[in-house]
Structure 1
């Protein structure tokens, strides 16, 4: 494994921004100092004018592997991820077959060991009939346990109150919840179908999967977590109203945490006329007021982490009429450049963004030796280059298997120049290093 010396970088870590050199050897950060001399590193990178960040740890992706190779695979999507500054990912269980058994979990780990250029972990799924398996899980074997408390996903929708109560009482590790109230959604769907027939517009999506449907489900999840003492992580908040359900205090002092996803921070319902089904996702992108409330909540401890919920579908699938078009969009390739627009606009300080995309994710999932720029830690690193004239998204090939991005036509004011994964160069000079091999994430619980 090559040693790498990064010179003249501006490091962003644990609330500080400072100039330093950083030396990597045998996959780990071995020295951080104002100037590092006398080292014969295999690779030297002059990072003058660039920020050096810990790589983003994405707590929620859908890499579609196994079961939907036309949409994505661990091979294709991990390459898109490192191009976007993501060095580690945690993949969701709603694949084909779903990750509802230990055999399915082992198969996904095997696939990642063969094909992933990013570090990897996997969430385990819950159905109405696998609670014995969930209760017996070794907490160190999975990133978390995912429950769909709404939004039908094959046999993974769990809406039986008795099953939910047992799950919250017996889950042995962090429980992640997708919260939407399905009966409310079905009622709204019927109302819009009566009004529009087969021509329901994509702009109806946030009205069908509305704020009330989210609030009813997330309220239930939090009530159950408080009743049973469950360590709960509520995924992809989309509404201002839901924010009041969460405490504004440091992650270490609470057992109910919350995630926001980058598309809910960067789009709002004014974008449906232009993008239509391309931004159809569950839960839905909602109003500008909701978006602004989520942005503001990042400045406090009410929102703990930022994820992507990368969920690709083919272009042809997205061109179907709104009721048939699947929900989800590809996001990992542009994750950090897109989020850095919030920094460029003065809406969030860069150290806060780093905390929500790296530090707090490592803390929440108990991932040792990652998520920080510290001597002895794994070298999961991202160099960010400013682009004063703006860099057009369309100048870079789309690496995700689906071949499209909702950011087409946009320009970003920062780009990812280099990504290191466990000390290996994974992305540099606009190119993937196929020799890079991500490592399995460890969960110290």
Structure 2
């Protein structure tokens, strides 16, 4: 497998770490026609080196092997779905909750890393001139400026290009595939383990094309260029799922908003999602120092201000979350898994079917951990088939129309079929279970 094959088979999530391994320095990250960032290779690009750090390549260690290498210690616990960990929690930051997405825990952790001199710099996604990109950040006085969720493609391309120029230690945040790429880079260059001293894992429901933001902007009422997209405008009087998207139209500087609940299920349907995400089996960013995500479980999901689940995987992470600013409950492994049950059902339970389907079509797929591959009944596989088709069509129709109304008209039949199959499959399963009881 090569980087070229990764890109051609839509298995790239745009992490950009491979760029740092191109000894010709010809490779760079570009936007593809589906609205994702992917590597563009030069004639002399050293793909044999680049592929070593690709999180979707066949050639590398899997998350179990890397977890054992980086996180396994006598004092850590292990769960085959959660990975290695010290503590499991749900809760929020009193200081950063109102200005942050979810429970404000990520902002709290970033603040603690800088204040306690654990690192000297953060490499995180930050707003620049109304757009979002990874940037170095070290001003603890402006920490609330980095406290929002962003569902738009970004890349780590600049991290290893600029890391040697930065004095001191660095913390990096990222989704599971980005974290894995960093760990692979550290495995081949152990000096980087000290330089990148802490990794914050952001639990991810799937990476979205930049067309997702364009669609939301049009639904919000923007008719021309926009900036300052905000994906999680909270309603503190309601529940955690009741939030809005907002953006600013450049022509008149007006703020436009749309209630996300009015748009239906943008995540379970796979709309605008990267194809590669359907071949990721790391639900909880198993290789990070700390893993953070939304607490989609009762009673936490009923609070409109938001709560986070927290998995500490290193001693430093455990010490950080024992600060006075946090309101935390210790929760058990089952609650952690329940909080991301939809992602586990899709990524693990449907993975074997997706792999077999793609192989039958002559398409390349990465090797996955055998223990997560499960056989499903035919009807559950039909849900997977319809979800794959809906994902693919959503990007195709947006590329074709670039218009919310035409898009909605074209995609509705696929959404209807997916809802129909899902509804009757789950009814049938409940009926069979009732009979057995």
TM-score interval, normalised by the smaller of the two chains: under 0.3
Larger fraction in strand: 1
TM-score (norm. length: structure 1): 0.26
Structure having greater relative contact order (Cα 8 Å, sep ≥ 6): 1
TM-score (norm. length: structure 2): 0.26
